[in-house]
Amino acid sequence: MLFNSIDFAIFLPIVFILYWFVTQHNLKLQNLVIVLASYVFYGWWDWKFLSLILFSTIVDYTIGLGLKTAITPISRKTLLATSILINLGFLGFFKYYNFFQENFVAAFSFFGNPIQANTLDIILPIGISFYTFQTLSYTIDVYRKQLEPTKGFIAFSAFVCFFPQLVAGPIERATHLLPQFYKKRTFNYTAATDGLRQILWGLFKKIVIADTCAEYANTIFNNSETYTGSTLIIGALFFTFQIYGDFSGYSDIAIGTSRLFGFNLNRNFAYPYFSRDIAEFWRRWHISLSTWFRDYLYIPLGGSKGGVGMKIRNTFIIFIVSGFWHGANWTFIIWGALNALYFLPLLLLGMNRNNLGPIAAHRFFPSIREIIKMTITFGLTVLAWIFFRADTVQHAVQYITEIASSSVFTFPQVFPKKVFLLIILFMGVEWLGRTTEHALAGIPKIPTLFRWSIYSILTAVILYYAGNEQQFIYFQF
């Protein structure tokens, strides 16, 4: 079920009424409503894959209880390894089986020993990368004794399959989200209305910005050999705003929806395109995944405490794994490695934590120095996104090569002024709200008439651009 669909527009009020009015604030019934609603939400796409979520839930729930009673280190490590192997095993099979098989065959052919092997027609279950990491966080935290294992299967099931963030995050830690299923929840009008504002802004990002940019980005990338370098830059820019509007829009809707039900999800985006260096960008982009890899992979490997060699090794590992997490394609791996190259100089020079606060926090306009830094960071990000979007490494190289040619100095063959105007207005609103949780968070401070005028305009624009329901980009990851 898509957030930007009529189905969800009907589904959400029904669940809201059942949750707040039918359950009579009974905590167990509320959790049960969430589980049933989440299974309907996910099963709307393909009910057969509900068994995967249920199996993963049972495995990690059982292992969590086992970790509580296990005494010896070897038994605890065995339980943890079982959880990791089962969860990553399913993820690896569905997401990476064909990739490894194709590269295995290619390697043998390269050395003059061609072999025959057929790939499997595997359908990637939507959201498997997200809920797999979420359940793993529970097992790992229980193993580390940072969290007491839960005895409530319904509450744990609700944590695993919580429908607002089930398909594309944010990836919630068990230490943050799971305890919320054990606390009595009462309707909070202020939180709910702010949640609706965030949902509205998320829908604007997805339907108006992302889907509009996608139309031109797809045309240019899919026919890149016919366009000039200047036009390819336009395509890369449009994809840059497409992926941000699409993914951060999903996160906004997820976070806003969760607030309607009395839950607080972690922030997943913090205006990343206003970053002054790549390190700041990664503190602001897909925060839940970045921090997951930091806490469960980077720090256990030694983090940045070792020598130069260890810092370089760990940086490349975390970025390449992050790239590979996104998909079974060498383009994602190179995208990750490229970001590691961007990040390394900052880390080695001790400059990776220079920009921790929002840009121009107490000023309306940034300084010239900040504008230059922001522009360079944005340019590097756009370049990396080309690999992320390209079908193959060769496609990405050809795309960049044409940008570097003399045709870059010609007027673009595609130059939709209305789309550029939308992007400018969109980023203007984001700039005004850059110190808040989301771009519309500060609206309650303005007079009622202007506030409702903004809501009405945004709603009208969303309805105007709403047409075909388009999936979110991160569904494929």
Catalytic residues: 326
User: How far apart, in whole angstroms, are the C-alpha atoms of residue 74 and residue 133?
Assistant: 23
Q: Which of 74, 86, 92 is nearest to 139 (CA)?
A: 86
* Peptide bond connecting 170 to the previous residue in cis, omega within 30 degrees of 0: yes
Q: How many CB atoms lie within 10 A of CB 351?
A: 12
> Quick one: residue 145, left, alpha or beta (phi over 0 = left, psi -120 to 50 = alpha)?
left
What is the distance between the alpha carbons of residues 209 and 472, in angstroms, rounded to a whole number?
A: 13
The full 3-state SS of 19-46, as one line of letters, equals: HHHHCCCCHHHHHHHHHHHHHHHHHHHH
Write the CB contacts of 336 (distance below 8 Å, at least 6 apart in sequence). Answer: 319, 320, 321, 322, 323, 324
**What angle is formed at CA 296 by the lines to CA 295 and CA 300, rounded to 5 degrees?**
90
DSSP state of 215: H
- Angle of helix 368-389 relative to helix 229-260, nearest 10 degrees, comes to 90
**C-alpha pair distances (Å), 408 with each of 193, 351, 379, 399, 402:** 47, 33, 15, 12, 8
Residue written as token pair 């336009």: 234
Question: CA dist 425 to 260, 287, 375, 419, 432, Å?
Answer: 28, 25, 18, 10, 11
State how far the Cα of 234 lies from the Cα of 218, in Å rounded to an integer.
11
Contact between residue 38 and residue 166 where contact means Cβ atoms under 8 Å apart: yes
**Which SS3 state, helix, strand or coil, does residue 303 take?**
coil
Distance between CA 195 and CA 198 in Å, rounded?
Answer: 5
User: What whole-number distance in Å separates Cα of residue 454 and Cα of residue 290?
Assistant: 33
If you count them, how many residues does the chain have?
477
User: Which residues make Cβ contacts (< 8 Å) with residue 131, sequence separation at least 6?
Assistant: 53, 56, 160, 161, 166
142: left (phi over 0), alpha (psi -120 to 50) or beta: alpha
The CA angle 8-10-16, to the nearest 5 degrees, is 90
Q: Residue 105 burial by CB count (10 A; 0-12/13-18/19+): exposed, middle or buried?
A: middle
